[in-house]
Chain A
Amino acid sequence: MIRINCPYCGERDHSEFSYGGDATINYPSLDASEKEWTEAIFFRKNIKGFQFETWHHSNGCRMWLVVERSTVTHEIKSVKPCHPDLQRVVENNK
């Protein structure tokens, strides 16, 4: 069982969270072209090793998180809120 250290709730089982997806995508603007959107939605790297991915603490504080996780070992290097304002709050409270 993966354990994720939610910056708000503390370390919890991954069953409290829902997996989101690739956290490194810069979604194009809504009026961007079909091509740009296709790139953003369908093209994914298949990373062996650490990757940034989003997780939703759906059975907890409801925060969306960026988790840096190894796809090989499940080791987690870092967890931080997706929202920059929340990131700052967490940093300031360290």
Chain B
Amino acid sequence: MKTRRIDNYGKINRDKILSFRWDKKNYKGFEGDTLASALLANNIGIVGRSFKYHRPRGIFSSGVEESGALVTIGSKDRRDPNVRATTQELYNGLEASGQNAFPNVNFDLAGINNYLGRFFAAGFYYKTFMGIPPLEWGKGTAIWMFFEKFIRKAAGMGSASGLPDPDTYEHAHDFCDLIVVGSGPAGVAAAVEAAEKKLDVILVEQDSLIGGNQLAENDFDNSQIKNQLENLGIKIMTRTTAFGLYDNCVVGLLERVTDHISAPNVNIPRQRFWTIRAKHIIVGAGAIERHIAFNNNDIPGVMTVNASKHYLNRYGVLTGKRIVIATNNDSVYETAHQLSEAGANVTVLDSRTNFEIETNKSFEIRKGYVPYNINGSKKIDSLDISKSETINKSETINCDQVLLSGGWSPAVHLLSHRGVKPKWDYNNACFLPSDTKENITMVGSSRGLWNKNDCIASGIAGTTDALNRLGISKTNYFFPKPGGWKNPIQPLYEVKYKKSRSKSFVDYQHDVTTDDVRLAHREGFISVEHLKRYTTLGMANDQGKMGNIIGLSLMAELLNKEIPEVGTTVFRPPYTPISIGALSGRNVGKHFRPLRVTPMHQWNIDHGAKMIEVGLYQRPWYYPKENETLSDSYIREASTVRKTVGICDVTSLGKIAIQGPDSTEFLNRIYSNGFSKLQVGKARYGIMLRDDGIVMDDGTSWRLAENEYFMTTSTGEAAKVMSWLEELLQTRWTDLNVNVTSVSEQWAGVSVAGPKSREVLNNCVDDSLVITNNNLPFMGVTSTFLKGNIPCRIARISFSGELAFEVYVKSDFANTMMDLLWANAKKYDGCLYGLEALGALRVEKGHVTAAELDGRVTIDDAGLSKMASTKKSYIGSAMRKRGVLKNNDREILVGFFPTNLKETFNAGTIVCEKNNIKGQGIGRITSVTYSPELGHWIGLGFVKGGLDKWKDTNLVGADPVRNKQMDLKVVSPHMIDPKGERMYA
């Protein structure tokens, strides 16, 4: 096969030959090539099959707007689909393949779709989902169900590897005065001007080289610019895309660190996700050349004019031999000249009849002509052309390439991210950026400037604007006027083909044709946002960078309106696609979220604990012996606590120090029950309500001294309670003299529970007198010492319903405390118990936790009416009896037994009346456990009307998710020792 590479052109390094594979065959390219330029040099015209119709597609562009050459790079777990060949730098050993074709892009069996086009027109998916009229109107989607898997396979892009991503990604942060996006003439001028004015500048360029569109110029050399920028101390970030602008001048960048390297160092991340906080943003993102819609305008060999200039002057590839350029503007003539100089036979069709252009006559100009139809299927054989005045085929030109320039669209995307709507400019037939009050300035061709000197002037003006807005200077400046061509552009978006069943593409990547836009209009989808969704125009990963304006112009014509009246779609981040890996950075696997462990975490594991996640915390779940299962283990642990003694790590509870002269008053206001008479040396269980009267959290507060309390909260609500207390003290009750401090990390806590717990503690404390029933009665608190002179706090608090103590030491003493307690507990055949046994014990006692207190439950619902003081006002007291909260058919806390005691049930089971199993039933089961004490399964939950109403009725537990159903009876939630005699022992 002949190469298209030509001598004496391009800035590639011809001394460095790179091998690569394309569709399982070996090829060669040069250092400095992109995959696209290397494919073109190797005369490979077809690089993919289109999305819906599986039409052969080639390379349309030389940059990020590419909508044809989407390929898959790499293999196995490094397989990366939908990569633009035009921005993928070539490296030695690169492996790439075409997409969306079987067996390959040259011979694709699904190409038949091309002839079934009427089934794939706009709205295809919606219509198919709705059922096919008239057979299936209203009947749903039987046909869809049948065809779905075929359609999904057919209408796809590349496929992902399905394997875990072996690469690492990083999040990085930086700050600067000014960030300049784009290193074309405008961006560089802005950056230089700013650095000279002593601003701290970051210059971002998505390409591997700085220069912007100057890289397409044959005599451009960026080394001098690079030196200048570096000498000024500007931070240059190449291969980095500014993908989004956010509030307060925050810019999101994606840096592709190793995507261009064949065997990257494994210690380097593949990509970096940067968050830049700037004081001002200058966007010189350039402009994107549009194509023109006409019949068969997607045949491989169609390209934008500017792209062919890039391939010639940057990569030394002459993309065609007999080239027809179709245009409506002046921008193509330099390229036409250079292509013909490089040896191509060039004809320019210019839709305009009346204009002056200086050329050396090396190529033919056909004034007043437009392209009409391309002949050929896998390559261009010839082009039918038409006079632009009346559209009709007038003659046919033999050619192998058609280059298009339908005008230029400034890249206003980043400004659009900030909600700034662009304004239509009739003179230049494009959207221009509007002004914004934010510190963002658009420069260069992204504000519609078409020649280099204007771009440079705009860059300097942009920096002056930035300096003024930052209050550094007060200098007058002006931006050059948009435009800059000698002859005005003539709007040209579509050349209509007269025959039926033609395809004229608006959006190449999603196979959206001009007929699709017309169909959307006929069916009433005329708003821009509807048009977009109905046809999927602009919804592919190029976001319609080339085709959107053509779609808008067609709709404008159909509606007999002007383009700005039709509207513009809003561009949203990211400007170009970002890998999910970069978004997650290092927050993957075990680092997905922070992990909290208690100070005795390792001790627990060393003593056989299996751990479970509770919020961010790792907590002991159960401590299996030998071959015990979870259920063997927790049943043994719970029985041991009831029989002798057990030790449980309760460090994850929230702990808050409350200090200051108004502490008692403060607690009295935030808890529903009274705290004003709590004596020093006593603890009290308390319930906090929200302002709206619903239960927020429960816990205990220990009065350590006159003006000092130690509060515990539930594990899950610890952070919320802390913020809540701070909010009250800082915003509502600013006269209260109270200080709250989170001490959750400072204290390690265990529960020592069971009839033998006092005996165990006797052996562990310095002075066993302090924990006698007299000195430390139920809910008593003492500050004392464990053996070895370890200061500790002990409270007689029971969650299990047994005689029990909570012991807290400073976190550093956690392991010592555990060793001491465990050594003595073993003497009484005690056990270590985890969360599962803790749960079993508390369900038996009817104690509520987060499973019950789910943010919808009142004190009365939870059966804790006694905890609501009638002698004082407190947070939530005014609201807890409001409206629906006082209905007497509310769901009330109860216990559940299966009627047949051999049966089991699950949390989440819906409680229903017999013969009326439907909807939400009359209640729900929130917690279940096997009760070692009772010898069968028990549950806690809620039922409308509570125990009194259903005491003697057989109810049904419906568990449709598990396809289970059982008879239930409602019992008191206090299933064991209802009088609490054991706790007071």
**Chain A interfacial positions (CB closer than 8 Å to B):** 1-3, 13, 18, 20, 23, 27-34, 36-38, 40-42, 54, 56, 58, 62-64, 73-74, 76, 81-86
Contact = CB atoms under 8 A, between A and B. Distances in A.
B874 A1 contact: no
19 contacts: A1-B248, A1-B250, A1-B275, A3-B277, A13-B277, A20-B731, A31-B873, A31-B877, A34-B881, A37-B691, A41-B691, A58-B719, A63-B730, A64-B726, A74-B247, A82-B730, A83-B731, A83-B734, A84-B734
B327 to A, nearest CB: 41
B732 A27 contact: yes
A34 B882 contact: yes
Interface hub of B275, B692, B719, B730 (most chain A Cβ within 10 A): B730
Nearest to B875: A30
B879 interface: yes
A40 B874 CA distance: 15
Contacts of A63: 730
B669 interface: yes
A34 B275 contact: no
Contact of A83 (B247, B730, B882): B730
Contacts of B248: 1-3, 74, 76
B731 A64 contact: yes
Contacts of A58: 719, 723
Contact of B874 (A30, A37, A62, A86): A30
B426 interface: no
B739 to A, nearest CB: 11
Contact of A54 (B277, B731, B882): B731
Contact of B879 (A41, A56, A73, A85): A41
A1 B247 CA distance: 5
Q: Top 9 closest A-B pairs, CB basis?
A: A30-B873, A3-B248, A31-B873, A64-B730, A1-B250, A37-B878, A82-B731, A74-B247, A83-B730
Nearest to A56: B723
Contacts of B726: 56, 62, 64
A86 to B, nearest CB: 8
Given A1-B248, A2-B247, A2-B248, A34 B727 contact: no
B246 interface: yes
Contacts of A81: 730
A31 B870 CA distance: 11
Nearest to B275: A1
A41 B692 CA distance: 7
Contacts of A23: 731
Contacts of A84: 734
Contacts of A13: 277
Contacts of A18: 723
A73 B249 CA distance: 12
Contacts of A83: 729-731, 734
Nearest to B874: A30
Contact of B247 (A3, A28, A42, A82): A3
Contacts of B438: 73
A37 B875 CA distance: 10
Interface residues of B, number: 28
A31 B872 CA distance: 8
Interface hub of A3, A54, A84 (most chain B Cβ within 10 A): A3
Contact of B878 (A20, A34, A56, A64): A34
Contacts of B882: 34, 38
Interface string B246-265: 11101000000000000000
B512 to A, nearest CB: 34
A76 B248 CA distance: 9
A55 to B, nearest CB: 11
Nearest to B248: A3
Contacts of B878: 28, 30-34, 36-37
A29 B881 CA distance: 17
Contacts of B875: 30
A74 B878 CA distance: 35
Nearest to A65: B730
A45 to B, nearest CB: 18
Contacts of A38: 879, 882
Contacts of B275: 1
Given A41-B692, A83-B729, 4 more contacts: A3-B247, A30-B875, A31-B877, A37-B878
B217 to A, nearest CB: 38
Contacts of A73: 437-438
A18 B727 CA distance: 11
Given A30-B877, A34-B879, A41-B691, A64 B727 contact: yes
A54 B727 CA distance: 9
Interface in B79-126: none
Interface string B703-728: 00000000000000001000100110
Nearest to B742: A62
Nearest to B250: A1
Contacts of B732: 27
Interface string B741-774: 0000000000000000000000000000000000
Contacts of B246: 1
Interface string B219-250: 00000000000000000000000000011101
Contacts of A54: 727, 731
A29 B691 CA distance: 12
A37 B690 CA distance: 12
A37 B879 contact: yes
B351 to A, nearest CB: 42
Contacts of B719: 58
B277 A30 contact: no
Interface in B840-896: 873-875, 877-879, 881-882
Contacts of B873: 29-31
Contacts of A56: 723, 726-727
A82 B734 CA distance: 9
Contacts of A33: 878
Contacts of B881: 34
Interface hub of A34, A76, A83 (most chain B Cβ within 10 A): A34
A44 B730 CA distance: 21
A42 B879 CA distance: 11
Interface string B390-406: 00000000000000000
Contacts of B669: 30
A42 to B, nearest CB: 8
